[in-house]
């Protein structure tokens, strides 16, 4: 969240991620907070927004002035409408968050290099395992195995499509049948 006074506070949903952003001088404070979203929280988003406002009083640098307006990195349409109807002040915080993300320290650059290597290794294993008679889940297991071996945290998206659309079931690619779009590193 970028404050109206130019400071940036990060609300991270996983405790202990300081190694990723602790070195950034563009982040003034880091707080642990659960994800907030209208789709999952419905009308209670206003209560959660109020709780976030109270949470902001935790470790503040002395130079940070307290102001009620908050800037949000991402808002869904539903969140924006609900906050607007409640007259909760909101501003676009994306430029400040983008600026903070653009500053990369040595540890973060090394983490990105390792992540790219782990992903590349996983994709290579997937390509090698892709053949007729193998399920899509079996193919994806190679990516996740590589990620675990590289001590990665999370790979969320499925890039390999089987047939005309992505499926999560045991669909098998047939010999000569195009597997669809996939990303190449």
DSSP one-letter code for 43: G
- 146 is written with which tokens? 């590589």
Choose among 36, 32, 37: nearest CA to 58: 32
Please report the pLDDT score of residue 121 as a whole number: 92
Q: Where are the domains of the chain?
A: 2-102, 107-185
Give DSSP secondary structure letters for 129-161.
Answer: H--TT--HHHHHHHHHHHHHHTT----------
Q: What is the residue whose two structure tokens read 């597997």?
A: 179
The larger pLDDT score, comparing residue 127 to residue 7, is at 127
Give first-to-last CA distance, the chain, whole Å: 33
Tell me the CB-side half-sphere exposure of residue 68, using CA atoms within 13 A.
4
The predicted model scores a pTM of: 0.38
In this structure, what token pair is assigned to residue 150?
Answer: 């590289």
The reported pLDDT for the residue numbered 32 is 58
pLDDT, tens only, 115-134: 888 889 999 999 999 999 88
CA 29 from centre of chain: 19
pLDDT tens digits, residue range 45-95?
556 556 555 444 333 334 434 434 454 555 555 556 666 666 665 556 666
In the block, residue with structure tokens 């869904």: 76
**Which one-letter DSSP state was computed for residue 22?**
T
């Amino acid at each position: 969240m970028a404050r109206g006074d130019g400071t940036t506070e990060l609300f991270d949903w996983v405790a202990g991620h300081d190694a990723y952003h602790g070195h950034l001088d563009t982040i003034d404070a880091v707080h642990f907070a659960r994800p907030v979203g209208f789709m999952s929280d419905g009308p209670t988003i206003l209560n959660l927004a109020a709780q976030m406002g109270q949470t902001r009083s935790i470790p503040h640098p002395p130079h940070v002035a307290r102001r009620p307006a908050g800037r949000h990195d991402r808002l869904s349409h539903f969140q924006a409408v609900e906050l607007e109807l409640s007259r909760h002040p909101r501003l676009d915080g994306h430029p400040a968050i983008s600026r903070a993300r653009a500053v990369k320290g040595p540890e973060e650059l090394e983490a990105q290099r390792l992540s790219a290597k782990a992903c590349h290794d996983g994709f290579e294993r997937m390509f090698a395992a892709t053949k007729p008679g193998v399920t899509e889940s079996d193919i994806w297991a190679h990516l996740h195995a590589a990620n675990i071996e590289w001590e990665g945290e999370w790979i969320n998206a499925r890039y390999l499509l089987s047939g005309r659309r992505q499926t999560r079931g045991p669909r098998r690619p047939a010999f000569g049948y195009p597997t669809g779009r996939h990303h190449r590193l």
